[in-house]
Structure 1
C-alpha cells in the first residue's frame, strides 16, 4: 500500500517535471543539478551560496513557482510515504494482535529457587508471554492463603482461573497458544484432578493427561511433523519431573559448605524478613544437609551424587543428539524447556559450575538461554 502511493507520487512528479513548460523553464536541468555538465557533486547541495544564488535567479526569472512547487511536491510525497508506511505497520500490528486473541493477564505465584516454578518461567519467557510474579514466603505462605492448593507454582489467568502443577500449566498454555478456538477454562477440563493417599499416608493430588497438548489431528501434525516427536517430548518431560528434579537437592546440599551457600542464595532471592532470613540460612542449611542424605537414599543415588547428575545430564544431551540444536529440532520443544528450567535453578552454585565443566551440556544450555532471553517462541 505504501509502496503503491510512492509510485503514484513519483509518476505525478515526473509528469510535472517532464511537461513542456517545465522543460522550457529549465526546471529539469536545475533539479538534476546539471549533472552532465558539472558532475554529480551539485545534485544534492543544500546550503551553499551557489544554491541560494540559483534559487534567487530562478525566482527572478519567473521560474521560482515551478521549482518550489516541484520541490514541495517531492518533499510532501516523501512525508506522505513515511506517514502511510507507519499507518500500514500499525494496522498490521493491530491485525496480528486481533488474530492472536486478547492477551492473557498472568500472575505467577512462586519460589524463585523452585525448579517447578523455573520450568513455568522458562516457558513463559520463551513464548514472550507477559506475566507478574508474586514471590511467596516459603515459611508462612500468606501470599497463597486464599488457595486450597498450598503448593507452588500457581498461575492465575485473567484473575479468575487458577492453574496448578507446572506441567499442567505448561500443557494448558501451549494448547491455548495453538488452538485459538478453546478458552483456558475449557482446556483445563482436559486435565482432571485425582486425589489419593501415597504410601507414606500423605494426601497427594495428581493430574490426568498433564503431558498432553490437547490439539486437533491437524494441529498435532503441524506441531509434531515427524513420527515419534510427540512421544519423545512427553517421555522427557516426565523424566524431568520424576528423575532430574530429585537430583537437585542432593547436589546443592551435598556438603555443609554447599548447603550454607545454597541457603544464602535462597535467602537473597526469596522473600524473607531479617530474622527469618537469618534463621532460614543457618538452621535451614543444616536441616537440608541432613534431608539431602535421606533423599540420596530414597532415590538410590551414589555416594558421590555428582555422578548421578552428570549421567542424567549426559543422557539428556545424547537424547538430543549431535544433529539437532534442541530436542524440538531448530526450536526448543516442551521437553527442552522443562530440562532447562530444572537445571537453571542451580546457577550461581558449585553444583552448576561442576555440571557445566564435567558434562557435554554447555552448548545446548547456552542455546536455550538465548532462546528464552530473546523470547524466540513468539515467532
Structure 2
C-alpha cells in the first residue's frame, strides 16, 4: 500500500506505477445469500509456577503422640497445598473468562509489509484476541518470501503450514468464525468465502472474495456475538467503509507534501525489509514518486485540495457513528469494525498526518482505548 507499492516499482528502474500491486483493494461488493449464514466454524480455548515444600521433622522417637503429631503436620501440609492449588486454578479460570478469546491451537504465520494498512488490520485482530503468530516481513521489491504463492499480494496468513488465507477481511472473518464456533475446521470455513476472479474497467485481472465481511455463525452464536439490533449490520458496514474509503485517504495524506513524503519513506525504509541500495533508492526517489502519485490519487478519489479535510471528516464520521454512550462500536469491547479502523489509522503513527488527525478530530479517546485494548498482547 503506502510503502511497498512504490518501492517495488522503483526497484524496477524507477518506473512510476499508479496500479499498486500490493495491498490494493477492489471496490466490488459481494452479495450475501442467506444460505451462507449456516456455515459454522470450530474453536478452541487455551499455569502457573509450581512449588515444592519440605517438611523437617525431628528424629523419630518412641511414643504414639509424636507420630500422631507428624501425621497431623503432614496432613495439614497436603491440605494447604490443595487449597493453594485450587485457588490458583480458580484465579486463572476467572482471568480467562474476563479476557478476549485467548489463544488457539493454530500455528499462524503472517506474511506482511509492516506499513500496509491491510496487514495492520490483521495484526490488530490477532493482538486483541491474544492469538500468537509469527511475522515474515516481505521484501517489497523482490518478494522472494512469497514466491511460493500464486496470490502475490499481502497479507497472507498460513495456518498450520498447510492452509493459506488471502485477503485481510477474509483472514479476520474466518478466524473470528473459528474462535466463536466449534463445528468446522479452517479449511471448511474458507469454503464460505469463495474466490472470484474478474477483470476491472482497465482489463486487469482482479481477485475478490464472496461474503468476506460475514462471520459465519449459527443463530445462537450470532445472538451472543451481536446482542443489539443492527449491530451485525453496522459492523459489516463500517468494515467495508474502512476498506473502500478510509484506506484510500492514507497515501494522499502521508505524501501530501515533499517533506511529508520524505518523512514517510524514511519510516517505511526503517521499518520495512530493504537492502542498502533499495532503501536509499526507495527513500529519496520513492518519496518524490509518491508525492506525484498522491496528487493523482487525490483526483481519482475526488478529494479536497486540502486532503486533511477528507481525513478529518472521515474520522469524525466514525466517532459519531460510535456515539457518546459507547466506548467502542462494539460496546464495552471492540468489534471487528473497531479493529479494522484502528488498524488502518495506526499505520500513520509517528507521521505529521497522524498528529494533525489527533489534534483536529474527536478520535483521540477512542484511539487510546484501542491502543490499550490491543497493547497487552502486542
Q: Is the aligned partner of 1:329 residue 2:331?
A: yes
C-alpha contact (below 8 Å) 1:107/1:155 kept by paired residues: yes
Query: Which residue of structure 2 aligns with residue 361 of structure 1?
Result: 363
C-alpha contact (below 8 Å) 2:103/2:130 kept by paired residues: no
Tell me which of the two structures has the higher relative contact order, counting C-alpha pairs closer than 8 angstroms and 6 or more residues apart.
Answer: 2
The 1:292–1:92 alpha-carbon spacing in structure 2 relative to 1, beyond 3 Å, is closer
In 2, Cα distance between equivalents of 1:82 and 1:227? 44
In 1, Cα distance between equivalents of 2:90 and 2:289? 61
In 1, Cα distance between equivalents of 2:113 and 2:366? 25
Query: Which residue of structure 1 aligns with residue 106 of structure 2?
Result: 104
In 1, Cα distance between equivalents of 2:117 and 2:271? 14
In 2, Cα distance between equivalents of 1:366 and 1:93? 23
Residue 81 of structure 1 deviates from its aligned partner by 3.7
Aligned residues: 315
What TM-score, normalized to structure 2? 0.77
Query: Which residue of structure 2 aligns with residue 132 of structure 1?
Result: 134
Instruction: Find runs of 4+ consecutive structure 1 residues off by over 2 angstroms.
Output: 62-94, 99-102
Query: Which residue of structure 2 aligns with residue 286 of structure 1?
Result: 288
SS of alignment partner, residue 372 of structure 1: helix
C-alpha contact (below 8 Å) 2:102/2:130 kept by paired residues: no
Query: Which residue of structure 2 aligns with residue 350 of structure 1?
Result: 352
Q: Which residue, out of 311, 317, 324, partners 2:319?
A: 317
Gaps of 5+ in 1: 1-54
In 2, Cα distance between equivalents of 1:317 and 1:68? 67
Larger radius of gyration: 1
Which has a greater percent of helix?
A: 1
In 2, Cα distance between equivalents of 1:256 and 1:284? 11
In 2, Cα distance between equivalents of 1:295 and 1:100? 40
Q: Which residue, out of 231, 249, 253, partners 2:251?
A: 249
The 1:130–1:101 alpha-carbon spacing in structure 2 relative to 1, beyond 3 Å, is closer
In 2, Cα distance between equivalents of 1:88 and 1:330? 24
The 1:67–1:367 alpha-carbon spacing in structure 2 relative to 1, beyond 3 Å, is same
Query: Which residue of structure 2 aligns with residue 297 of structure 1?
Result: 299
In 2, Cα distance between equivalents of 1:218 and 1:73? 48
Gaps of 5+ in 2: 1-57
In 2, Cα distance between equivalents of 1:101 and 1:287? 42
Residue 209 of structure 1 deviates from its aligned partner by 0.5
C-alpha contact (below 8 Å) 1:126/1:372 kept by paired residues: yes
Query: Which residue of structure 1 aligns with residue 148 of structure 2?
Result: 146
